[in-house]
Each structure stands twice: as structure tokens, then as C-alpha cells.
Structure 1
Amino acid sequence: MSQKNSDGKRSARERLQEQRQQEESRAKRKRTLIAGVIVVAVLGAGAGIGALVAHSGKGKKQEKAGPLVAPQGATGKDTVMIPVGKSTAKATLTVYEDFRCPGCGQFENAFRDTVHDLEGKGELKAEYHLVTLIDNNLGGKGSLNAANAAACAQDAGKFAAYHDVLYKNQPEETDDQYGKKPRLLELAGQVQGLDTPDFRKCVDDGTHDSWVKKSQETFSKSAYHATPTILLDGKSIYGDQANPLTPDKLRQLVAAAQG
């Protein structure tokens, strides 16, 4: 083979190789461009979904609540406390409760008679703060609706009696029975003189819903984050497993406060 022919064949091979490299380079650029378009499209779709979710959440936050109407006689900071007993009593029992909370039901069933007896003697007054922890944790409206109904009972001067009926008939924590307003109205029949048109309207309209939500908001900003929280003259007295509270101990503590 002549040198000329050999050089010609090498040149042809080189040209063919160069052509293949150019085609591969163009194909690579095309693939890169397509991948880039896909990424942009995906990111754009994701941004659209994110915007939709954000807009949806924003819409929920902007959902308007009714006016804040405190029940008659509510006192304290932000008027979120319902007082029971004589204001001249020297000892004060502060109670943070949720009507769906089983621990609150246990406290009420164990200490109800003692607390009422001490209140009747004028030695103890109670301050009730109604919260909605169970609704927040498990969903439903039982905590809210029951608290609103209790506030409606406060308007009628029958908070303590209705409060006790709700705890005596407390459903299981996971049973949102108190989310059903007809059940709350039915239980009102156990309190003499409570089941009136005004009470029914207050319950059905959720007159004190915003007040209950304010009570929960105030509780969440406090140093206490569980129910029941029971304080005597500002000191926590309930929930210490090493030194459990008993009705007799409560009487002793209240007696000591009389001096």
C-alpha cells in the first residue's frame, strides 16, 4: 500500500471519528436541554402545589371567629376564669380542666364532695379554667362544645351543677360524644331550671366559643401544659405520685390556710 493511500485512509477515519464525536456532543447537549426542561417543569408544578397548600392554610387561618363573649361573672386576667364559692374564702383552688380529659374526671369524682363541702363552709373558693387539649390532640369538638355549654350554664347561674353533671356522664376520651350538642342539651335536663330557650340558643349558637378558645390560648402560654392542673393558693398540689393528694390532705391544707 502506498503512503498516499495510507494517509487517505487515516484522514477518512479521522473525519469519521470527528463526525461521530460531533454527533455525540450534539446528542448530549440535547439530552441535557431536555432534562433541564423537565426539572423546570417539575419545580414549577411543585411550586404551584406549594402555593396551593400555602393558600389553603392561609385561608384557614383567616377563618373568622365569632365575637368574644365572656360568660356572666367570669373574672381574672382576660376574664377566662369562672369563680365558684364565696369570694371571702381564704383558700383558693385553681382548676384547669378539659371536659374530655379522663384525668380531670378522676379528680372530680374523687374530690367533688370534699370541694363542695369546703365551699359550703366558706373555707374554699374555686377558680375554673376550661381548656380544649383533647380536641387539639385527638380532633373533634367535645372539649369546645362542652366548655361553651358550661359557660352558658354560668350565664344561668348553674355552672357548678352542670359542670358536675358533665363529669358524672363523661364519655371515653376517644368518644367525641360532647361534640354533639343534643347530648349536651339532654344532660342539661338533669339540672333543675337550666334547660331553657336561652340556654339552648347559647349552646346551639356557640355563644362562648371564642371565649373558650381564648381560655385555651391563655393556658397554652402559661407554665402549665397538662390537665388536670390543680393549684391551692398558687401551689401545685395534684399529680405528685410520691405524695398523692387525698380528700383528707386537701382538708388539712385548706384548714392550714384559714390561720
Structure 2
Amino acid sequence: MSEKNRDGKRTARERLAADREKQKTTEKRRRTLIVGASVLCVLGLAAVIGVVAANSGKDKGGKAGPAVAPSGAQGKDGLAIPVGKDGAKATLTVWEDFRCPACQAFETAYRPTLHELADTGKLRIDYHLVRLIDGNLGGSGSLRAANAAACAQDAGKFRDFHDVLYANQPKESDDAFGSDAKLIELAGKVPGLDTPAFRSCVRKGTHNSWVDKSHKAFAAGGYNGTPTVLFDGKNIYADQTMTPDKLKKRVEDANKG
């Protein structure tokens, strides 16, 4: 074999090795970003409980009002917004914050599977809304987005608006969801949602105190970050081996029993 051919083969092997190393690095960076997002959404209990206690039921200086649960809310104190059939044999409990990047990462990865399982009657998802990032970074976007989602629930459009919020989530440090106008603009992406009743609900903060009550329940439950995703009482989001396919199998197994 000529020296030129040997050099050519060696160069090809080196390029292949470099490509493999680059692929590994990319995958490692992807995992790091997801973990990093999770860390950013971790609850500093003492600090945030203090913020919630000081601001519970208030909206930019407004007075506290009664906790008005959205239509169809279920569970203890009516703090869960259900998606899926009540008779489903499997239930997933999700604690989430619409400003939380880790929540968006979970939604992006699991949404098709959750929609499929809910639509086929195999799974019910109980969503609990919290205002974690408001306490960590300031602003009111978590609260206002959660209130708007509850207003969408009143209109029977929760899941669609829920998905729109995550699809248009701003950077965690950007309090864009603190704008009623922005939330109403996004409601225009859901057919039939942008109505006078919805706009009034958003602007009045009809469900703000309910969101604060849900956040207090989150803190009292000892949960330390969002998303907290419970299946059979265990936080599957904390299980780094969990995948949408594995969750689907667990749900299907539950439906066989």
C-alpha cells in the first residue's frame, strides 16, 4: 500500500472519530441543557413561601379576593384541572409553571404521548398550576399565565391554550406573560377562545387567588421543583431513565389490570 493511501485511510478514520466525538458532545450538551433547565426551576422553599405568604391573592398591589376555581376543577380544594376521561384507570399528576423551561422541555418530549393516551381514554392528567418563577425571578408572568389558562378552562379550551403557552414560552428571565395583552394575543391562536368573557377573566385576574392557593399546596406538599410529574405516587420526571414509551407502557399495563 502506498504511503498516500495509508495517509488517506488514516485521515478518514480520524474524521470518523471526530464526527463520533462531536455527536457525543452534542448529546451530552442536550442532556445538560435539560438538567440545567430543571435546576433553574427548583423551588427555594423558604424564600418562595415567604413571597407567596406576603403576596397571596394579590395582583400588582391588588387586594386579596376569594379563591375562584375554574369550571370543572377537581381534586382536593378544586385545585386540579383534569384533561382526559374521569373513568381512566391511570392518572398523571403534573405540577407546572408556564414560565419554567424544564416544564416546556417535558411538554415538548411527552405531549404527543399524553395527548394519545388521554384521547383514547387510558389516562387522565390532573394539572396543578403554580407561580414558582415569579417568586424566584420576580414578575407576574407565572401567575397571569396560570390565571389565563384557568380562564381557558372556563371556556373548555384549557388543553389547547396550555399547549400554545408552552409553544410560545419566553425566556425564563423575560416576564412577557406578565402582559394581559400578550396572553390575549396568544388566545387568538386557539379557535373560539378570544371572547369578551375570556378577556374579562384575564384582565380581572379572576383566578389569581386560586393559583396562589394551588402554589401553597405545592409548597406544603414538599415538592422542590417544576415540573413535578407523579404516576403511582412517584415523580417520574426525576427518573432519568423514563421515556414517553416507558410511560405509555406503564399506562397501558394499568389499563390491563
Do both share a fold (TM > 0.5)? yes
Can you list the C-alpha shifts for 1:218-240, whole angstroms capped at 9, x where unaligned? 11100212100001132221122
Aligned to 2:228: 229
Whole-angstrom distance in 2 between the partners of 1:207 and 1:129: 17
Whole-angstrom distance in 2 between the partners of 1:208 and 1:60: 14
Deviation at 1:215, TM superposition (A): 0.4
- Paired positions, count: 199
8 Å Cα contact 1:89/1:123 also seen in 2: yes
What root-mean-square deviation, in Å, do the aligned CA atoms of Structure 1 and Structure 2 show?
1.6
Aligned to 2:161: 162
Matched, 1:252 2:249: yes
Aligned to 1:195: 194
Whole-angstrom distance in 1 between the partners of 2:83 and 2:138: 30
Whole-angstrom distance in 2 between the partners of 1:78 and 1:119: 23
Aligned to 2:107: 108
Can you list the C-alpha shifts for 1:86-121, whole angstroms capped at 9, x where unaligned? 011100010000000000000001110100000111
Whole-angstrom distance in 1 between the partners of 2:80 and 2:65: 20
Aligned to 2:88: 89
Identity of aligned residues (%): 62
Question: Greater CA radius of gyration, 1 or 2?
Answer: 1
Whole-angstrom distance in 2 between the partners of 1:223 and 1:66: 26
Structure 1 unmatched runs, 5+? 1-58
Deviation at 1:60, TM superposition (A): 7.5
Whole-angstrom distance in 1 between the partners of 2:229 and 2:80: 14
Whole-angstrom distance in 1 between the partners of 2:227 and 2:237: 8
1:74-153 aligned within 5 A: 74-153=73-152
8 Å Cα contact 1:71/1:151 also seen in 2: yes
Whole-angstrom distance in 2 between the partners of 1:67 and 1:237: 33
Aligned to 2:69: 70
Deviation at 1:251, TM superposition (A): 0.8
User: Which SS does the other structure have where 2:169 is aligned?
Assistant: coil
- With the length of structure 2 as denominator, give the TM-score of the two structures: 0.75
Q: Which 4+ runs in 1 deviate beyond 2 A?
A: 59-64
Whole-angstrom distance in 2 between the partners of 1:228 and 1:148: 18
Deviation at 1:172, TM superposition (A): 0.6
8 Å Cα contact 1:96/1:230 also seen in 2: yes
8 Å Cα contact 1:98/1:132 also seen in 2: yes
8 Å Cα contact 1:86/1:124 also seen in 2: yes
Kindly provide the amino acid, as one letter, of the partner of residue 248 in structure 2: R
Q: Which has the higher contact order (CA 8 A, sep 6+)?
A: 2
Aligned to 2:170: 171
Whole-angstrom distance in 2 between the partners of 1:128 and 1:249: 21
